[in-house]
Amino acid sequence: GAVVSQHPSRVICKSGTSVKIECRSLDFQATTMFWYRQFPKQSLMLMATSNEGSKATYEQGVEKDKFLINHASLTLSTLTVTSAHPEDSSFYICSAPEGQGANLEAFFGQGTRLTVV
Amino acid sequence: AQSVTQLDSHVSVSEGTPVLLRCNYSSSYSPSLFWYVQHPNKGLQLLLKYTSAATLVKGINGFEAEFKKSETSFHLTKPSAHMSDAAEYFCVVSDGYGGATNKLIFGTGTLLAVQP
């Protein structure tokens, strides 16, 4: 199947700094990618939909100025957590759809565990 | 609006015994339903999906699920658990094929433990 690569897998940063997470579709093009956040022992919550060449669509309650999304090419979307605080510590995971019709499937990256100290 | 409820947060079985992970859904549309597995510190892997074809869906690693519209259920089963099945399992609903324009709604997950 298709491969989505997410980098870094783990990052520790200081409060107030910014962190960039990359999501790449390795063997297919993705005009849309999705960013999720997963709190410990909880489910994945959709944060935003990343659209190639246009603005991202954010879910209700997600601060777009804090979670900057850039989808500059058909294979790369980035999520930047700006001015990170300890409450931003979480597991972030991206996905990209690949295929046609009933064969359309969402492929997920490995996730990024962010710890803000 | 779509939603999905996983009835058990934790399930523990012995190796070689059957696995049942329960999922109920709510959808205004004809839903697409999925089961994903997440091993520790790894991304999600699709186990199987239902997209309005056969109601009994067979997936990878011996897992299968049956779509029951009358019960709004999509329970995941496996006849015989293996130690490597220990992971977190998510039931997911989408109002389409889970593609570019369709959002995936995740259940809260079921942590499966397999005892030797």
pLDDT in tens, A9-22: 999 999 999 999 99
Q: Which has the closest alpha carbon to B89: B68, B108, B64, B70? A: B108
- The nearest alpha carbon in chain B to A101 belongs to B97
Task: Give the mutation candidate from B106, B108, B110, B111 for the A interface (greatest A CB count, under 10 A).
Answer: B106
Task: Give the mutation candidate from A43, A77, A112, A114 for the B interface (greatest B CB count, under 10 A).
Answer: A43
pLDDT for B44-54, tens place per residue? Answer: 889 999 887 78
- The nearest alpha carbon in chain A to B44 belongs to A108
Give the length of chain B.
Answer: 116
Question: What are B17's strand-pairing partners?
Answer: none
**In a 10 Å sphere around its CB, with 0-12 CB exposed, 13-18 middle and 19+ buried, how is residue A51 labelled?**
middle
pLDDT band at A37 (very low <50, low <70, confident <90, very high): very high
For the record, the structure tokens of A112 come out as 């990024």
- CA separation for the pair A45, B13 (Å, rounded): 28
Cβ contacts of residue A103 below 8 Å, gap of 6+? none
